[in-house]
Structure 1
Amino acid sequence: MRKESKIKNLDDLRLEIVRLKALAKEQEDYLSDQYHLFNDKVAAPVRFVKSLISWVPGADLAKNLFAKGRKDEDWLSKALRIGLPVVLNRFFLRKAGFLKRALVTLLSQQAVGALNKDRVSEVINKIADFIRPTRRGKHSVRRKVDYGIPPDSETY
């Protein structure tokens, strides 16, 4: 059961290559269109929710407060932005009211905005340099070694 080939010479081979390239291009275009249609269908609920939120007054303030992608934030800033209000409310403001906790949360998040891992590491290095003992014992005193002939002598 051998299948007969349509290709008998070089011209037939070239025609078959052109036909297969056109077929591949057509299939790629079809799949690309289907992909874009699928993305539009998936994104439709998100667009609907965003349009509803845009009508709510004050939504922009909340959106900016929890916005992603701040370029100057690293992992430490993000962790402190979440963790610092939790720690303050849990341990220091246990019996405080809602307004006081909300105010402290906003202020602590603004304060954390100025922090990043470089600034924290600078402070830690300064504290470590202050705490580390300076070497002023007999190991740190360098003795002058006598090599014999002084360098300014006339030995030639």
Structure 2
Amino acid sequence: MKNKRYNIKNLEELHARVCSLKAENELQGAALVKDTKAYLKQFTFGSLIKKYATPSAFLKIDDKLNISSSVMSLALPLLMNSTLFRGSGIITKALVGLASGKVGKALDGEHLSAIFNSVKSWFGKGKKKQEKGEGYVDYGIPPDSETY
């Protein structure tokens, strides 16, 4: 640490300098706490999900390594055999495992997000929108008619 020389000539200047150094210390401490919180906030679970859970960032690192297809080729056969084909024989489970493994390799992030959005749209169409107000009644007269 570097020693600073101050031209302090009396006790009042010393007290003023001490007060200014305490105020500077408080400001620097508050800035340090604020910066530390901002730095640590980027490593919270929610921010990591936002950063890496997008189809482009999370599921495809490059063209040769496709994380989503690797995970799906392993997880899809296990899921199919443990749920849908629980009571079937070993030959059926092997065939399902091979077929679902091939399908899992073909799936990538864009396909998974498209499937999710299409399933989500099936459940999202609960209410129909009214196109016209309640007081409007269409009598079938075209707007360019002379009787309109």
Q: If the TM-score is normalised by the length of the shorter chain, which range does it land in?
A: 0.3 to 0.5
Report the TM-score when normalising by structure 1.
0.35
